[in-house]
Structure 1
Amino acid sequence: MKLTVAVLTSLLVACSVTTANPILPSATTSTESSSLPAPNGNGIGLQGLDSLPAEVESLLEKYSKKRGRYSIQLELCKSIESQFTEHQGLVTLLEKEVGKLRTVLQSGDGDLRRGRNGKMEGLKADLENLYSKYSKIEKQEQDCDLDIIILENELNFLKVDLVKLVFGVPYNAKLLDEQFWEILAHSTVDAYLETCDGEQSSGCKKSSAQAPSDQQESQAPQPSPEASPETSSETSSPEASPESSSMGQTLSTIGTYNKI
């Protein structure tokens, strides 16, 4: 990760209330033999999740959407990283071709130099163009990595809010992941999260205990995710960018000059 991102990472992690704790609990974490302490007086306890209070539903819905955005962002960063690696290889290859042609020009006679000067200028122009695209993708990679860090911290704060609501405050940071898993493993919570579709969802389905008027509101037509500018910008693939569309042309150019 680049220096700028590393500095911002340390600042964000220092501000986080739950440093050294993973954002998404490991699937191998066992919840069968829990030694968690009983909730204190200001927590609703695990039994309080049976009817799933509205405040818990709200936090779970936010968590589900944020986790969906996090997954999409991870895939986006992987795609950008792939483009970055590919452009990095193209830059290296084109730099070698420039060096080879420069050697030929320096060692050749006048007629040879005159015949290849134009090719050298074209190759240098292609290299400068590739440098520009390479720099843009590098910036995209840094921004994407920073967005991942921000989403991780936001997910962490939601975890803390849920744990404090159920187990009370002050919460035990060492037990945060285990307590969070206890919440997610609760049958009512698990069933509720299954009704959520992540970041693309217009909302999780309300529990059966809600009022009829609330059920009617939840059934009201929701705007299509495709109509949301925010969603389309977050999930857009960098593969459709002009930088990637010229990849084949650059490879073709390198192949042409390699025959010199």
Structure 2
Amino acid sequence: MKLSITILSSILAVCSVTTASPVYPSSTMSAEASTLTASPSANPAGGDVYPVFPSAYNLEKYCDPFDTTEASLIKEIAKAHVGIDVMSTQLEGLHYQYDFQKGVIIKVEQQLETLRQTPGQELGAAEARLKMQYEVLDGLKNELKELVKKASDIIKKEESLEKKLTEHLSPGSSANGGILKLKTVSGYKKCYEFFFDHFSQ
């Protein structure tokens, strides 16, 4: 999944559509509903979303056409791209969990409709369980919103860095309506891949 601001906005739009108001089920709820109560953290250990770059590297060998400022910008672009890749994987997994949890709730509510047609059923325990499942869904929604915000910030940072590098390599190109494609710049791919490979480790 190639992340963009548009994709992130669509994810938020999906999350803003709430599931129907809770209708409390019977105690014969599905195994999935009773076991799916938490999700993994979207950012393990609360750390950064990309690895720390090693201190020793050879700019002359891999980024010879570029000056220090340009090489630094390319490094930060590669770093942002790694962060976006990590976010993409995390969002895909979390979005799957969110959709699955909505399915669990729908199944439980369908079971309740059947149960209500049988007189004398006790619904108290089942009501508490369904409430818990909605709390799980809300938790997943909040995780998704937080992760989407972080991913959006990284994408905006990447776009800003690319604009700065473009202006540095070709001053005034944006003002004149021209768009410099970084991938076409001699030596850019080699320098970018050097940094990207290190940040990906």
TM-score class, shorter-chain normalisation, is 0.5 to 0.7
Is 1:69 aligned with 2:69?
no
Residue 130, structure 1, aligned to residue 133, structure 2: yes
1:147 paired with 2:150, answer yes
- Of residues 160, 172, 190, the one that matches 2:163 is 160
Partner SS, residue 65 of structure 2:
coil
Runs of 5+ in structure 2 lacking a partner?
A: 1-10, 17-62
In 1: Cα distance, 2:176 partner to 2:125 partner = 60
Change (3 A) 1:175 1:95: farther
Q: CA RMSD in A?
A: 2.6
Runs of 4 or more, structure 1, over 4 Å off, are none
TM-score by length of 1: 0.50
User: 1:100, 1:173 → 2: CA distance?
Assistant: 67
| Deviation of the 1:170 alpha carbon | 6.2
Query: How far apart are residue 83 of structure 1 and its match?
Result: 0.3
CA distance in 2, matches of 1:172, 1:79: 41
Check whether the contact 1:56–1:162 (CA below 8 A) recurs between aligned residues.
Answer: yes
Aligned equivalent of 2:118, options 101, 104, 123: 104
The one-letter code sitting in structure 2 at the alignment partner of 1:68 is V
Residues 1-260 of structure 1 mapped to structure 2, 5 A cutoff: 1-2=11-12, 51-105=65-119, 113=120, 116-117=121-122, 120-169=123-172, 171-172=174-175, 174-176=177-179, 179=180, 181=181, 183-197=182-196, 200=199
Q: Percent identity?
A: 12
Tell me the amino acid that sits aligned with residue 190 of structure 1: K
Instruction: Name the stretch that deviates more: 64-73 or 139-148.
Output: 139-148
Unaligned runs of 5+ in 1: 7-48, 106-112, 202-224, 226-260
What do the CA deviations read for 1:160-201 (whole angstroms, capped 9, x no partner)?
10011011036248533xx1x2x3333422221221235835
CA deviations 1:8-39 (Å, max 9, x no partner) are: xxxxxxxxxxxxxxxxxxxxxxxxxxxxxxxx
Taking a change above 3 Å as real, the CA distance of residues 2 and 193 of structure 1, as seen in their structure-2 partners, is closer
Does the aligned pair in 1 maintain the 2:98–2:137 contact within 8 Å?
yes
Conserved? CA contact 1:70–1:151, under 8 Å = yes
Equivalences, count: 144
Structure number with bigger Rg: 1
Q: Determine helix, strand or coil for the equivalent of 2:187.
A: helix
